[in-house]
Each structure stands twice: as structure tokens, then as C-alpha cells.
Structure 1
Amino acid sequence: MDGRQWRGTITAAQAGDRQALDDLVAGWLPLVYNIVGRALNGHADVDDVVQETMLRAVHGLGSLRDPDSFRSWLVAIAMRQVRERARRNAGTRELAEGADSAADFAELTVLRLQLEGQRREVAEAVRWLDDDDRQLLSLWWLEVAGELTRRELAAAVGISRQHAAVRVQRMKGRLETARGIVRALESSCTELRKLTLRWDGRTDSVWRKRFARHIRGCGRCGGPSEGLVPAERLLVGLALVPVPAGFALSFALGGKTAVAAAVPVAWSAKVLGVLSKPAVAVTAGATLAAGGAYVVVEQPDAPPPQAAAPTAASTARPRPPAPSPTPSRSPSPSPSRPPTRTVDLYGTVVDAVDRAPDPNARPAALPHRPETGITSTGGPHAVMQHRGDSVTLEGRGYVLVRWQLAPKYRPGQVVMPSWTGLKGKLFHVASGGGRRMDDPLAGSPDGYDTGMGGPSIGYAVLPPGTQQMWQNEYFYVDGSVTLTVNERGCDYGLSVFPSSWDAATEDIMTGPDQGVIRYGLVRDNGKDTAPVPQYVTRATPSDPATVPQRSRV
């Protein structure tokens, strides 16, 4: 979520456009809810703090001078409200007691994002952090997930970036200790079981220290922590926890915006619809970690294939000129014979399977195409989880499509999404997200904790000749086009975000030294010979799943 993409909406809202204000509040409510929810671990006051934050943002919007700084400004307001609440409740046990009556945010994270393994352990470890650490983690979690920058994190906390780096490092150390506790409590250690007989179940600092002391001296409990994957590698690209269906902004906004009456009802229905399908993560950007690619052709209901050697995504290469469509040039045009027109090369790109780039190789510069903005029928976060779900994009600018695969729930061949009704031009410009879907995730129990699956859960199998998708795929639209989910074999979902050149560049230039597996890949050459998506057509077939796998429009 990039504030710069919202410049037009913010400016319109400042000028008194009610619909723009509604869109602004609805679009940024999930980010605020995640910051506050994680900072307070789902305490009953979360709703009040979120509402106060949004109310202050609405009332103070006119004082915001630079629309591009909206996200930093909003996050800072949210953190001030969290700290203000802490000051009001200082010296009382209200926080701990109130938490019992509210939804534990760690539990919401696990359930609503379908987290498993070490990702689940990270979410549950948050319960063991002190208030200050949990507030900082609420921002750092979103930084790693790609929702905030380090500059915004530091500004929200009110410290320098250098000091923020020190604070984050210390918090991560305590988070790792807490992860060890979560893992140890699930072990069969007799001595630890004796210790827990005196434990009242509260995840406070006293018991955190007692359990940590036991783990340091216990060979059984201390061993598993050695295989922990760094938290930032587990959280990269992870989703926002969706706003709960029962959440509604108060009418205390007092006529400033109609969002209190209109948005929560529609939002709740949408979230409930998505939650009814537990097979995949349920919100924009939720991603199951990617892993080894298996280019084996199977029917959707066929048994899982045997794993082949890792293969790579395809990159685009110009199609050799075909004799038939290429007119010959006339050396000297005459009045009776008009000049020969140069053939438009757009769409004459084919895709060839090749190996993945070196994880440590920085990609080439991404050409900067003109941006005037993209409108989406799915809004700023379109979540498509079911066969037939679609979103229509219109304008000129960049679009992020984030993949979600769930072979654990239904393995088989992936029936790829398709782009239909294209008017204008569409390019596949870059791939990122820190991993391809065939990149293995270190530390998984069986070595196959990946987006493509494994022996114990089945495989997601691509059709022959299909590009291996990356976690984040970036496209450039100049016109209009509709993207449709054709899920029929392997279970998958797509999240679609209007994006920007800046966001795409930052994503693909994030390398392994920053907690991800690999740098991204630039596919755009800045010309019309740049690759187009493989499943794209200008037609509007009754069944979008019938679009041929070829790159020629």
C-alpha cells in the first residue's frame, strides 16, 4: 500500500469529496487495524483506538500538506493513540484483564491467514512480548511484509532510523526467545511440564524469563531453536489480517463521511464470503511461501507427480520475423502504390522456459513507463479466491498481482488466470516478492514447505510451457483489461493492487541480504517488444479458462 497511489483520492477528500473520503477511510482501515491490533494483541480497546485514529485522521486531513506522506502521517497518528491509551492505563491491570475478553490478535493472525509451522510460531510468540516490544513489532511486522518503510517505522516511533535499527534488533532478540518458548511448550520435556504446573497461563515477562532460563539449560528444549528460520524471512510479503466481519466504524465520525453507514456493511459481507473458503489465505497479499517447481503435466485429479529438478521461469524473447505478415518495402513509393507501413511489433513476443537468475544478481533497471493512475473494479485491494472472480483494470500505470497457492488443500494442475477484453496494451514488466514460487523455504520439516507443494501434501503443477510465477508479478496497463481467476485444479487465489514504478523497483531491488531469498527480475525493455502475459486476448470468451497459452495479441 503506497500513499503516492492515493494522491488523487487524498486531494479530492481534502477538497470535500465525500466518496473520496469514504474510499480513503475504507482503503486504509486494514492497515490501522493491523497496527493497533498487533500492538495491543487484540485487547478489547482495539476498536476504540482504531476509531479514534480514523476520526483524528478525518478531522486533520485538511492540515496534511503533502498527500504523498499520508501513510507516514496516518501511522504516526495510530501509534500516538496506542501510546496515549497505555499512559491512561498505566499502573493498572486493565490491559491484561481486558485481553481475556477480546480476540487474541495472535490467534486471529494464525486462523485468518492460515499460518502453519514456523509462521504460526512467530505469530504466537508475539503474546510473550512486553507492551513496548509489541508496539514496535506491530510496525516491524508490516515493514517486513512490505506495507511500511523503515523511515515510516522510525517516524511513527519518534526516533531516528539509526536508533530504530537498534530497537528493532533488540526486539527481534526477545521475539526469538519467545519463539523458543512456544516451541518448547509443545515438546514432551518432563522438567518443563513440572515447571508449567505452577504457571497460571499468563504470557508475562516473569514466566517468559523462567521458561527462557529452563530452555537455555535443557538439551531437549534448547535443541529445536537451532533450526529456526529468521522471522523476517517468514513474514516477507505476508498479508494484513482482514478486518473482522463484526467491525464497524462508529457514527462518531458525525457526518464527516458516509463510511460509517456504507462501508462496514459491504466490507463485512465481502470478508465473510472470503472466510467461508478456508483453503487459501483470506486477504490481500496473503502468500504461502513458495518452493520447488515441478514441471510435470498431470490432470487436476491425478496423483501427485514426482519432483523433477528445479526449473526456471520463462523470460520473453522476440519472435523471429515471419515472412507472411511482414510486407516488403518499396524502394520508391509511387502515387499508385502507397508507402509500406511498418508492422507493429506489440504482442509478437513468445515465452521460452529457462533457468531462474542467480539469487544474488541485482536485476537491470526497470524502464519507467508513463503513469497517470489505474482504476480497479475491485478497489485498492482486490481479493480473488474463487473460480470466475475477476477484476477490470483501466488507465495507464503499474499493477501488482500477488499469488497464493494452496496445494495442501487441493493439489493438481493449476488452471492459469487469464487476461481478456484487452483494449490498448498490456506488458509483463517485472517479478519480485523475494522469491519465485519454486524457491524452497529453509527450515521446513520435510524440505517442501513451498508454494508448489511437496510429497506429504501434493503438488501444484503448471501447464507445459507456462512461466513459473513469482510471489509478486508486476504488469503495466495502458488501456483496459479484465483478469479472471480460473481455479479448477489446484487451489489458488490472486490479490490485485494498483501499484507504481517506485513500488515495483523497491520490491525487485530487495535482495537476499535483506531477509528475502532472491532479488527480483526485470522483464521490461521499455519497448513494445516487451513481454505480454501468456494468457491474454482481446476477445471476451464466455469461459476465460479457454484462452490459449501464447503471447500474441
Structure 2
Amino acid sequence: MENSRLSRVHPPGPEGTYVDGRQWRSTIAAAQAGDRRALDELVEGWLPLVYNIVGRALNGHADVDDVVQETMLRAVDNLGTLRDPDSFRSWLVAIAMRQIRERARRRTTDRLADSDGHDAADFAELTVLRLQLEGQRREVAEAVRWLDDEDRQLLSLWWLEVAGELSRRDLAAAVGISRQHAAVRVQRMKARLETARGIVRALDTSCADLRQVTARWTGQPDSVWRKRIARHIRGCDRCGGHGRRGEAVVPAERLLVGLALVPLPVGFTLSLAFGGKTAVAATAATASVGWSAKVLGALTKPAVAVTASATIVAGGAYVVTKTPEERPPRAAPTALSTARPQAPAQRRSPSGPVPSASPSPTASPSASPKKKREASYGTVVDAVDRAPDPDTPPRALPRRPETGIESTGGAHAVMNHRGDSVTLKGEGYLLVRWQLAPQYRPGGLVMPTWTGLKGRLFHVASGGGRRMDDPVSADGRTSGMGGPDIGYIVLPDGTQQMWQNEYFYLDGTVTLVQNESGADYNISVFPSSRAAVEEDVNRGPDQGALRYGLVRDNGTDTTPVPQYVTRETPEDAAAVAQRSEV
């Protein structure tokens, strides 16, 4: 399995691919028509992507928050002008890049402006810390500091293209050039990035000659010192040509493929207010969250024909803003939902008896044949599966009600360490994406655990285009659960084989706990949707997947529940037994 996190912004498309605007068509149309909840979802869903583009382009400069907020304001303010919802992603990214360039034109070049940036959070450092990057992935993130502004702007898009969040069409449209020209620009930027990586590696060596060259260096990357250090590297056998500890240098695109978005920082607040407010009311509403004065005027302009608001607060707060009385209507049946999928053979847990049918008080036992009832919820637990044929598309996914999932981890919760957890609440789909890192720590894997379940939880589907036991691919982008050179990750006996993306359906409340011990792994959790699941599992080899996905939900209580789930809240979540019954 590719040792990286595939990422997506909430509720974007099949992780492992870039977000497809088509699945947002109905949400965008509703927001344009004045639906407050749709507007909330749109802003909340796409904010992480915008934050990552701006943050990396400006490398965490103090202006990042302003540029992100101005981008979202302009997007909402001009949403009614968007004629093709399928192009929403390209349209939004282009707005972000225009705001970045506008900020560059406004920015003065005096030393005061430069010092302001040093007081802000270094985005390269945030990337390393928040995504727990090590080795050459860390090296790539640190190398970004050595790029010029123009290269960093392009890299902010290319990074997300490689990670699966954007397409090349989005990149070219955002920069305002053709795809052919974009390819040339990207190649040049990558060459400079490799030079910067060489500088990061060299500075990590004990080369006495390099220490002499950098004796008067202040430690702040700039173009002058980039050229000086690069010149030294080209003539130094000790500093040039190899990775740390003599390892082969892996191309940046292979290191970044599927890498997650950097989560919004704790305390980051985006508050938008639209329609029916006076300038005084808008000022009062936004002063408390530190908005700049230049934004206040825009707040009084109605973006849609309804009073609407959206508030995103990172760190410990629920992200989806909704009130109990504002439950969205259930989607009308579609051609996809009316098709009756063929249910797979039912699996029965050896520890769970199947209840017998209760006799009807009005029917004679001899008058009608006995009907076998389906197993009740909780008695059918996920078991080890047989890998499906990669060339066979999965059956259709049954339709279940979706009113939204709230997450204490926000739209993208990343759990890197033992004891990390996220609590989910609501009725709808969610995605758990796996990152295995056997090159850091192979061995036995202790599975994460679902605890404190109130309601029902189903295992819906597996996707992402690959299973954890898939072999190394010809292009080297996937490596299964390890290999002889780096060691292997081993699943507990009887554990359901995992895929890159695992989808679940929740109707209630549950907490997912990371139980890392032994093998190194990270998991990301995203509120999702049925449309995203369908698109993911049906993404065939012609769309870059190794295999089609697998649908487990059959629309009944016989749909498997996760192996490691309990209604209890144990002191040690890692102790929850396999084949739990709920």
C-alpha cells in the first residue's frame, strides 16, 4: 500500500482521486438558490483545500488568514455567476490564486513586511508536524522554504495535484495557461525543488567545507544563499547526489502521492455573514474573530437571496453548523437508488445465533411455509474476505438516509498516535483512510476501535482502488503491507483485509480510537456521502485504480458491523475483542 495518506476535503470525492465537482452539483445549486445549509456545507467543505493552497504558496506568512478569508468571501459573493457546477473546483482554485497574486502586488518589499512573515507559522513546519512527515517526505516539505514566491505558488497547486486533490486541468486554469505550458512550468519548478532538496540534505551533513561556506548565513533561506550552497553541492562529493544515510533519492511526486491536506490550525476561525445585515451589525458580528477592516465592507453585500452564515472553528468544536429543527429533506429516489442490487451471500458470525421467526397469531403453521428471518443487527460481523476480481465492477450501493455527520475532528481528522480519537454523531456516511508506514516501524498492527456506540454502525464499502495486500505496482507507487527491504505489517489473525479507503454508515454516535502499538500507521476520518462512496468503488483501472471497490452494505440488518466495535467505553480501547456483538 502506498505509504502515505490520501486526502480529501469534506465531503470530496473518492479519496485517492481529486475532488470531482460533479458530486457537489446539487449542493452548489442549492446554495445558489439561497439554501443556508448548502452554503454552510460548501464553505466548510472547501475551506481546507483553500487553506492548503494559500498556506503553502505564502509559506505561512501572516497574510495567509486574510487571503483565505478574502478567497472564501469572493467565492460566496460571486457564487451566483458560476454557470457550470462541475467547474466549481477549478473556479475556486483560480480565485485563490488571484488573491495570492493580488496580495503579492500589494505587498511592500521593505524589511518590515519580511519580518511580519517570520512571526507567522512556518507552513513547511506545520506540514511536517501535522502530517507527521519523516525522512524524504520531511525533506520535500522543508525544501519549499528555498523556493521563490512564483515557484512556491505553482508548487502549492502541483503538491495537491500529486496528492490527489486537484487535476492538471485545475492547475492550468488556476495559473491561467494551457496544459502544455503548465507541464513545462511544472518541470522547471520540480528541477528547482530538487535543488532545494539537495540543500536540505547537505545542511544535515557534517561537511566542514559547507560549514565554512555558510559561516555568515543567518539561517533564513533566500535566493542568494540558495545559489551559494547549490554551487558548493555541485563540487562536493560529500554533499551531492545522495539521500541521508546514503539512501536513494526518491522523486518528489512519488513521496507526495496521496499525502493528506494539512489540517486547519487550532483556533483558525472563518466567519461569514450575508444578507439582511447592516454595516454596524456585520462589524459587531465579526470584530470578535479578528477580521481585518477591509473585509467588513464585503460582509454587508448579500451573496444569496437569503440570510445565511457559516462558521468554521478548528480544534475541538463540531464543524457542521446545524440546528435540530433544520433537518434537510431526504433525497428523492433516483434511477440508481431504485435499482434493486443483488445481495451477496450472507456471512454469519460463529458466535452470533440467528433469531428464529416469530409465528403469526393468525397463520396456521401448516398453512404456510416457514420463513427464515434475516440475522438481526450486530450478529453479522466483518470477516476475512476473498479479494474480488479487479475487472469486475461492484454491485450498486443501497440507499440509506443522509442528514449529515458531525465530527469533533472537523472535516478532516488525522489520528497519528495511540490514544488519538474522534467522536462522530449523526446519520450518514463516513470515510476512514489508512496510511501504513512499514519503512518506519513494521510488525504486528493493533487495530483501531469503535467505542461508546449509541445507535447503529455498518461497514458499507471498501475502496481507494487498492487493498493493503496488493503487490508492488510496476510504477512503484504502491507497496502493499511492506516488503523484504523494509519489513512487513501484519494484521491480527482473522482481521478483515483492509483497503485504502474504508466506508461506514452511522446512525447515532460513536468514537473511533487509534490504538497504534507495534506497526506504525495513521488514519484519517472524513464525513462523506453515498455519492462519494459510489464514485470511489466504481473507479476502475482506466481511472488510475488497481481494482474496483467492494460493496458490503446490502440494505438490511445483515450488513456487517465492524469487527472492533463496542457499546462500552473501555479504559483500554485496544482490548476490544474481535467479532464484537452490538
- Unpaired segments of 5 or more residues in structure 2? 1-8, 13-20, 271-290, 319-343, 358-362
- Alignment-derived partner of residue 93 in structure 2: 75
> SS of the residue aligned with 1:377?
strand
- Alignment-derived partner of residue 229 in structure 2: 211
Q: Contact (CA 8 Å) 1:36, 1:49: kept in 2 or not?
A: yes
State the alpha-carbon separation in 2 of the partners of residues 127 and 259 from structure 1: 42
Deviation at 1:195, TM superposition (A): 1.6
State the alpha-carbon separation in 2 of the partners of residues 513 and 229 from structure 1: 24
Deviation at 1:182, TM superposition (A): 0.5
1:488–1:132 CA distance, 2 compared to 1 (3 A): closer
2:259 aligns with one of 219, 233, 238:
238
Moved more, 463-472 or 498-507: 498-507
1:83–1:512 CA distance, 2 compared to 1 (3 A): same
> SS of the residue aligned with 2:393?
coil
1:365 aligns with one of 372, 377, 393:
393
Q: Contact (CA 8 Å) 1:44, 1:101: kept in 2 or not?
A: yes
Q: Contact (CA 8 Å) 2:195, 2:230: kept in 1 or not?
A: yes
1:375–1:547 CA distance, 2 compared to 1 (3 A): farther
Aligned residues: 484
Q: 2:434 matched to 1:403?
A: yes
Amino acid at match of 1:497: P
State the alpha-carbon separation in 2 of the partners of residues 220 and 159 from structure 1: 40
State the alpha-carbon separation in 2 of the partners of residues 17 and 513 from structure 1: 33
1:383–1:248 CA distance, 2 compared to 1 (3 A): closer
- Alignment-derived partner of residue 254 in structure 1: 299
Q: Contact (CA 8 Å) 1:417, 1:483: kept in 2 or not?
A: no
Q: 2:511 matched to 1:484?
A: yes
> SS of the residue aligned with 1:224?
coil
Task: Indicate the RMSD between aligned Cα atoms, in angstroms.
Answer: 4.9
- Alignment-derived partner of residue 431 in structure 1: 463
State the alpha-carbon separation in 2 of the partners of residues 246 and 191 from structure 1: 44
State the alpha-carbon separation in 2 of the partners of residues 161 and 383 from structure 1: 33
Q: Contact (CA 8 Å) 2:564, 2:580: kept in 1 or not?
A: yes
Q: 2:508 matched to 1:473?
A: no
- Unpaired segments of 5 or more residues in structure 1? 272-315, 328-332, 443-448
Moved more, 338-347 or 167-176: 338-347
> SS of the residue aligned with 1:227?
coil
Q: Contact (CA 8 Å) 2:394, 2:548: kept in 1 or not?
A: no
1:338–1:451 CA distance, 2 compared to 1 (3 A): same
State the alpha-carbon separation in 2 of the partners of residues 189 and 522 from structure 1: 50
- Alignment-derived partner of residue 228 in structure 1: 249
1:365–1:505 CA distance, 2 compared to 1 (3 A): farther
1:321–1:550 CA distance, 2 compared to 1 (3 A): closer
Deviation at 1:326, TM superposition (A): 9.7
Q: Contact (CA 8 Å) 1:42, 1:105: kept in 2 or not?
A: yes
Amino acid at match of 1:522: G
Deviation at 1:39, TM superposition (A): 0.7
Deviation at 1:78, TM superposition (A): 0.3
Q: Contact (CA 8 Å) 2:43, 2:310: kept in 1 or not?
A: no
1:512–1:72 CA distance, 2 compared to 1 (3 A): closer
Q: 2:151 matched to 1:104?
A: no
1:418 aligns with one of 425, 442, 450:
450
- Alignment-derived partner of residue 274 in structure 1: none
Q: Contact (CA 8 Å) 2:537, 2:548: kept in 1 or not?
A: no
Amino acid at match of 1:166: V
1:105–1:409 CA distance, 2 compared to 1 (3 A): same
State the alpha-carbon separation in 2 of the partners of residues 487 and 525 from structure 1: 23
Amino acid at match of 1:236: V
Deviation at 1:463, TM superposition (A): 3.5
Deviation at 1:186, TM superposition (A): 0.8
- Identity %, equivalent residues: 54
- Alignment-derived partner of residue 390 in structure 1: 423
Deviation at 1:450, TM superposition (A): 10
Superposition pairs of residues 90-489 of structure 1, within 5 angstroms: 96-225=114-243, 227-249=248-270, 250=291, 252=296, 254=299, 263=311, 266-270=313-317, 319=347, 336-341=366-371, 344=374, 351-352=383-384, 364-369=392-397, 373=402, 375-378=404-407, 381=411, 383=413, 385=415, 386=419, 389-395=422-428, 399-403=430-434, 414-418=446-450, 420=453, 426-432=458-464, 436=468, 462-475=491-504, 477=505, 480=507, 482-487=509-514
How high is the TM-score relative to the length of structure 2? 0.67
Higher RCO (CA-CA < 8 Å; seq separation 6+): 2
